[in-house]
Structure 1
Amino acid sequence: MFKQLLLMSAVLIGSVQVSSAAIIVVVGNGTGQLNSVQVTAGDTVSIPFAIYADTPTDLTSYDIAIDFNGDGDGFDAASSSFSGFSVTPISGGFNTDGSVNFTTSTAQGNDAFPGTNYDFLVSDGASSTTLPSPSGTALGLFNLNFNTALGTALGIYDVEFVVSTNGFGDSPIGPGTQSSFVTTPAVQPFAAENGSFEITAAAVPEPGSMLALAGVFAAGGIRQLRRKKRA
């Protein structure tokens, strides 16, 4: 079952402030760890990414770097807690051809700038699209989808748009790895309203519910026995 992860965290990466940014990427609803969405271990999860602008801006293409779990390192393929990562375009959003480019990174990056490395890079291009404003009408980009293992440790996990992959915002740690946007006007600052989700334990039925269930099964068994005797 897919859970759209809403109520996400407004954590900003780097020194860029949302109030001065012309382009803002929203992870979930961008409202913080304080309201992390509850996800039961074993669920399949879908986190929406969207975008808006606080000044008139047309978007033609983007490269969005994502740090999963907020560890500042590249993707750990050996992790058994999360698997099956993929992206799907959001219907009615920026994408027009049903396909979004998705790659992973194992780069451990520059320790002098923690939080600037990334796990995934998502890219897409389409006809020039005017970005909505304000954030309440953000344009859908894509969903980041993944599976959670039954034994996943309980707790809050961050999912963050990495504004800069090197700490300066002027060059990437490798070719094609810089978060970037092709826009009109040509140069726009950008920032993030990031998100998180919380892994919770599966609900345990209350004793009263267990007794009621037992009663239902017992009644069913008695009816079956009576039918057999009549036969």
Structure 2
Amino acid sequence: MTPLVFFSFVSLGQAGAAEHRAYNEWHLLDHRPENLALPGVAWGDRWSRPDDFKAVSSASDEHAGTDYVAMYWFRDPVSESVRAWDQLGADSFQWGRGPIIPGVSRSLLAFFRPVRGYVNPGSLVAADVLPFRPVRGMHVQLVKHAEPMSLAVHERHTFADRVEMPRLTGLDGVAGGWTFSFDRHQQHSTLTFGEDKQDARGSMRLRLLYLDGDPLETTDRIARAENELAEHEIAGHDAPGTEILLDTPVRTIIPWQDW
């Protein structure tokens, strides 16, 4: 799959329905199509986190208000692809079309390296095809490691690859999944994004599960499977200094219907 992925966690604070509609219209009818038209962008998508989804999630204070999660996959040559994408953001600002929008805050703007993809055998497609496949939602988990190069974290990665991900992607309602390792925060060439963020490479790990089933029902299955793994596969399941920053389902946004 592509060598670099961008993630954005977005909050609209206490905004009402009208503000959410305006933001969705901007992102889905303006911002996302402009990005997808870039040759260096392989794919991009975005999901919402409504209140009933927040109720079954866990999050740090920084990410608790996340309303939307977006991601973009970049093609090689990555440096050129990101440069053109970065320039589009600068041009859009000059056009008066975002991405700096009143009331919108972003708790995460970062690039990650894909680690590995996994598929449910019933999905038929390869892991590289998962990002292009329609889903009803996603399950997102972002964790932070205090000592990302420690033996304990290495064991946790081994557990995730050999036990956790095969088990979770075999659940009913889960089409597959991908894991990602933090590379760097976005530092835009002209816009004020990521200027005060400092985290070591590899210090965060992001897991995506692609959901064919109802996101809330499938999240319950995921939670039960994780609890079973924690009880029976202790070694490598967790590492000292590992903090869950966000663990939540998100749902696919249907234009106009969900606005």
Does the alignment reach a TM-score above 0.5?
A: no
Greater RCO structure (CA 8 Å; 6+ sep): 1
More helix by share: 2
What TM-score, normalized by structure 1, do the two folds share? Answer: 0.29
Larger Rg: 1 or 2? 1
